[in-house]
Amino acid sequence: MRRWGEARKALLLAACLLLAASAGAEPASGKRSAAAGSEYRPQAQHPSEETGAFSGAQRPKKKKPAISWVALQQRYPGAFVIGGSRRFRRVALTFDDVPDPRYTPQVLETLARYKVRATFFVVGQRAAAHPAIVRRMQREGHIIGNHSLNHPVFSRISQYAMQQQVLRTDWILRPLVGYSPRFVRPPYGEITPAQVEWLSGKGFTVVNWDVDSEDWRSIDSGAILINIKRTLQPGSIVLQHAGGGTGQDLSGTIAALPRLIKLLRSKGYAIVTLPELLGRPAARRLP
């Protein structure tokens, strides 16, 4: 029975790898099935919806959002968050764009050394390519979040394509971590009100941040710490990266992390996970 269970897991992971090779999009006919808004079902590929690609330090040019993050948090309380309660000196460290064999293991080693648990936002294609790192994150007590299948700008793709980005990643992550991750972080923090509404209806919580380390710029550890201290406050969610794109150098993040942990503790902050900060479980309830 044990051998059969292992064989089933291997087959499921192989299927994940095949699915991750082509991101989900709306069928070319433009007709959505009745299940378009339900849980993931494999769909035909439509290249026009495929905009996900890591571009190193080059980020998409930002347009002025139709609605600010503060307004989104007020309009969708509990469904869209950028921070926790300001009453307690607690901070959540979050790391995007994982797993990356160059940087993620180094971040995990530092967190283990200082007995800190963090939240990692996982890219589906990377999880399928490096499942052992995802399992390690979960095994060492960290929280797993959904960071899309291949990192497109959600606000620039269709509602259907966004749904497929999230659901395909969810389908990859479930067998690796043992649950369906509740927390979703849109790449670059870009998201529309309609997308927040759909995600909330499916039991997801959208989590952005209120402290940006700007480590994605490949800056040194000193600059990273300055950026974090600039907007740090009780209840902050700190954005860092444990995975990079082509040409991106996150050595500054690795060097800054021990100093950041010591700094936070010296100022009386407890370093917590997102479930602890926000008071909700890591797993969503499946429909």
pLDDT in tens, 207-233: 999 999 999 999 999 999 999 999 999
For 181, phi then psi, to 5°, come to -60, 130
* Range with lowest mean pLDDT among 23-32, 80-89, 110-119, 255-264: 23-32
- DSSP 3-state assignment of 139? helix
Cβ atoms of residues 173 and 127 within 8 Å: yes
Measuring CA to CA, which residue among 225, 230, 185 is closest to residue 208? 185
The number of CA neighbours under 13 Å toward the Cβ of 220 is 1
Check pLDDT > 80 for residue 36. no
Q: What is the mean pLDDT of the chain?
A: 86
DSSP code of residue 97: E
Cβ atoms of residues 134 and 170 within 8 Å: no
The whole-number average pLDDT for the span 230-254 is 97
The tens digit of pLDDT for each residue in 146-178 reads: 999 999 999 999 999 999 999 999 999 999 999
Check pLDDT > 80 for residue 5. no
Q: What angle do CA 217, 219, 223 make, to 5 degrees?
A: 120
Whole-number Å distance between alpha carbons of 160 and 57: 28
The pLDDT of residue 31 is 37
Distances (CA, A) of 58 to 38, 62, 101, 188: 34, 12, 21, 11
Tokens for 130, please give them: 């490096």
Distances (CA, A) of 38 to 111, 166, 171, 192, 237: 37, 11, 13, 19, 30
The pLDDT of residue 11 is 52
Q: What is the pTM of this model?
A: 0.84
Band (66; pLDDT cuts 50, 70, 90): confident
The pLDDT of residue 63 is 61
Amino acid at 230: R
Cβ atoms of residues 269 and 260 within 8 Å: no
The pLDDT of residue 255 is 98
Options 3.20.20.370, 2.102.10.10, 3.20.20.220, 1.10.10.10; CATH for 2-22+68-278 is 3.20.20.370
Check pLDDT > 80 for residue 24. no
The tens digit of pLDDT for each residue in 177-200 reads: 999 999 999 999 999 999 999 999
The pLDDT of residue 16 is 52
Band (117; pLDDT cuts 50, 70, 90): very high
The whole-number average pLDDT for the span 123-148 is 98
The pLDDT of residue 64 is 63
Measuring CA to CA, which residue among 120, 140, 192, 199 is closest to residue 167? 199
Cβ atoms of residues 20 and 148 within 8 Å: no
CA 278 to chain centre: 16
Band (33; pLDDT cuts 50, 70, 90): very low
Check pLDDT > 80 for residue 39. no
Whole-number Å distance between alpha carbons of 109 and 127: 19
Cβ atoms of residues 166 and 195 within 8 Å: no
Cβ atoms of residues 260 and 228 within 8 Å: yes
Active site residues: 96, 241
- Higher per-residue confidence, 41 vs 168: 168
Band (52; pLDDT cuts 50, 70, 90): low
